[in-house]
Structure 1
Amino acid sequence: MHTRRKFIREMSLSALGLYTVNNWPATASPFSVVNNEGPVLKVALMGLGGYATRVAEAMQQCKRAKITGLVSGTPEKLKSWGEKYAVPEKNRYNYENADAIKNNPDIDAVYVITPNALHHDLVIRMAGAGKHVICEKPMGLNAREGKEMVAACKKAGKKLLVGYRMHFEPATLEVIRMRNAGEFGTLRFFQGLCGFRIGDPTQWRLNKALAGGGALMDIGIYALNGARYMVGEEPVWVTAQETKTDPVKFKEGVDETITFQLGFPGGIMASCLSTYNMNNLDRFFLDGDNGFAELQPAAGYGPVKGRTHKGPLQVQATLPQQTIQMDAMAAILLDGTDPVVPVDGEEAVRDLVIIDAIYQAAKTGEKIKLG
């Protein structure tokens, strides 16, 4: 029996090379592949944890995406999820035989929703199995991993998307539209605050080997990515400071609180906070000569709310963010559409390059140049 917990504990990524393969004829898929909105993206969820539960529930409202496969190291989950979402046994896999997805016409893409340290190898494996890949963020543990993932997907001729759900969020996109229309005038400043008090000290998010860090990798990436899409430029330098009040809970290499500053070529400054030790932090603020925009909450599961110098934002999502995300990703993969804000692997690599620089700046106290 191969449980997901055992798989994670053993960290046997380097050993994931040869697997038993279940073969069956590559016949036409029995799943519905078209509806009134267009072709349907057939998705296998890999890693059936808490966030995958949220994604699966949201996908029940999708018009362009359907759960047709499952991958888990826990047989009980494969059974219960398979029954709940009508996924037949032949479309259920564990981490040892997941490469058999290659022969399955019922699956177009695999959504990797595992602890961060597993993303790199699993994305490369699934692309090698001939499937498009959607990966949760952060895409990898560092920029080197991210670049390898992008290169592997390109070599396989498969697309790599990343779960940047906020890139499709209506209120966020309205602020970006206003910025592009010049309604804020010359931009001067951005502030991004993201944090919460984390609970269970034994969870994988507080294990450097699995998470790759601490709050910055989990919640701070929203402030970082938000600074980029709200400002609309790529930063050219970064400074950072780390504070740790509980070295027992937040062990070496697991950041509790990091403040970081970004400088943009247009002269805009961004000041951001990432923490696992403070609640009530979910706010973006963009300031310009002629106006401002504030989103609060800005990166939570919703609903995102906001206001500008013109008053409250009237745009608000009527569907879960993950529903909107998966339908939009189906359009990207099946129709070749371009999102307003990119969600591809290259976009994720840009975040990882900056995350590497933030950790370096926090450690050295130096101002790190980017690009």
Structure 2
Amino acid sequence: MSTRRTFIQSLALPLLANSFKPLKAKPEIAEGSILRFAQMGLGSYAERVGNAVKESTRAKITGLISGSPEKLSKFASKYGVESDSLYNYSNVASIKNNASIDAVYITTPNALHCPNTIQIAEAGKHVICEKPMAINAKEAQKMIDACQQNGVKLLIGYRMHFEPITLEIVRMRQRGEFGKTLFFQGLSGFIIGDPSQWRLKKELAGGGAMMDIGVYSINGARYMLGEDPIWVTAQETKTNFEKFKDGVDETITFQMGFPSGATASCLSTYSLNYLDKFYLTGTKGFAEMQPSTGYGPIKGRTHLGEIQKQHITHQARQMDEMAAIILDNKVPEIPVDGQEGLKDMFIVDAIFKAVKTGKKINIQYEL
């Protein structure tokens, strides 16, 4: 993964089928107003979003925010952003006066999500914040409060909540096609590169693999099972103490228990490749996704056979759906609001506490 640089200078700031061949398709979103948004933090993921928006029908990049003049120039040229809609972290408050920007998509390092969100909310713009929402539940709640106080919406970049195969499996579970769901397995990991990148710095990332990739299994367990866990246990393994310093987790295995009696067994790691799998089983059937959260195509099968859906670039579909949520008050099938992100942060906090204490931790969804 590429690292995002320079910004830190200013902290101020089924259909089921027998075979599946992925097809590329334009998102099918009803025509309506265009969501005009600014990108905040111009790293590799912002570029991925920018490229995907070219396929979007309801979203357009109309502003850019970065501490790097070089990146501002590059992105402005690539996406056709006017010079009067380019901001750095010192003057971003003036975005309040820019009528061509409705929302800001924050893709800065995790530790900046909270202050950046508060700053954008106070400027009167809707906020889309990349996951993880924050570095802990306390900061996540501050973000929610700031957006509520300023009358703007807060959405979290859970792109998988709009992915067709994911949604089909969730619908099957809701229809009872798996029977009583009993167990979920989530495997999320890859071997991380560049040891100097911000994702391996506790002060910027808030942790290590758990904050980046582990949150997929946490969130996936919740939407696959359709309930929130009430306890966690967790164990950490570290083999490279130079690369993964204090407070930066390399590998964590964790278990979660749910009100229905269902359990989940998950793994989050920065030291193993080919880990991108969800598995759900119930009394009448099962669902398996592999890959389950990568950029696509996603592949899924159940006890009834393989699921066939057209592949749409995740971020293009996400932005079209988020445009509908912000502009049309559409209610998504799986929530993507601040409360959804806050729940994941309560669970992350509990996992870190379980690792530290070696104890089973009951999750309290309140501060």
TM-score (norm 1): 0.92
The one of 331, 336, 346 aligned to 1:353? 346
- Which of structures 1 and 2 has the larger relative contact order (alpha carbons within 8 angstroms, sep 6+)? 2
State how 1:304-343 maps to structure 2 within 5 Å: 304-317=298-311, 319-343=312-336
Q: 1:305 to 1:6 in 2, by over 3 A?
A: closer
Map Cα deviations across residues 126-183 of structure 1 (whole Å, 9 max, x no partner): 0000000000011111000000000000000000000000000000000000000000
Map Cα deviations across residues 265-316 of structure 1 (whole Å, 9 max, x no partner): 0000100000000000000000001000000000000000010000001124
Equivalent AA in structure 2 for residue 146 of structure 1: A
Aligned residue in 1 for 2:41: 47
Equivalent AA in structure 1 for residue 48 of structure 2: R
Aligned residue in 2 for 1:168: 162
Number of residue equivalences:
346
State how 1:185-334 maps to structure 2 within 5 Å: 185-317=179-311, 319-334=312-327
Q: Is the 8 A contact 1:305 1:316 kept in 2?
A: no
Aligned residue in 2 for 1:25: none
Q: Is the 8 A contact 1:174 1:315 kept in 2?
A: no
Q: d(CA) in 2 for partners of 1:282 and 1:74?
A: 33
User: Deviation of residue 6 (structure 1)?
Assistant: 4.2
Equivalent AA in structure 1 for residue 317 of structure 2: I
Aligned residue in 1 for 2:151: 157
Q: d(CA) in 2 for partners of 1:344 and 1:180?
A: 21
Map Cα deviations across residues 73-111 of structure 1 (whole Å, 9 max, x no partner): 111211121122111100111111111110000000000
Q: d(CA) in 1 for partners of 2:193 and 2:134?
A: 24
Equivalent AA in structure 2 for residue 187 of structure 1: T
Aligned residue in 2 for 1:66: 60
Q: Is the 8 A contact 2:126 2:153 kept in 1?
A: yes
**Is there any run of 5+ residues in structure 2 with no aligned partner, and where?**
14-28
1:233 match: secondary structure: coil
User: Deviation of residue 7 (structure 1)?
Assistant: 3.9
**Is there any run of 5+ residues in structure 1 with no aligned partner, and where?**
17-34
Q: d(CA) in 1 for partners of 2:141 and 2:123?
A: 19
The alignment status of 1:96 with 2:90, answered yes or no, reads yes
Equivalent AA in structure 2 for residue 352 of structure 1: M
Q: Is the 8 A contact 2:5 2:43 kept in 1?
A: no
Q: Is the 8 A contact 1:196 1:275 kept in 2?
A: yes
Q: Is the 8 A contact 1:304 1:316 kept in 2?
A: no
User: Post-superposition, which runs of at least 4 consecutive aligned residues in structure 1 deviate over 6 A?
Assistant: none
Q: 1:39 to 1:84 in 2, by over 3 A?
A: same
Q: Is the 8 A contact 1:188 1:268 kept in 2?
A: yes
Map Cα deviations across residues 198-219 of structure 1 (whole Å, 9 max, x no partner): 1111110000000000000000
1:38 match: secondary structure: coil
Q: Is the 8 A contact 2:7 2:66 kept in 1?
A: no
Q: d(CA) in 1 for partners of 2:165 and 2:265?
A: 21
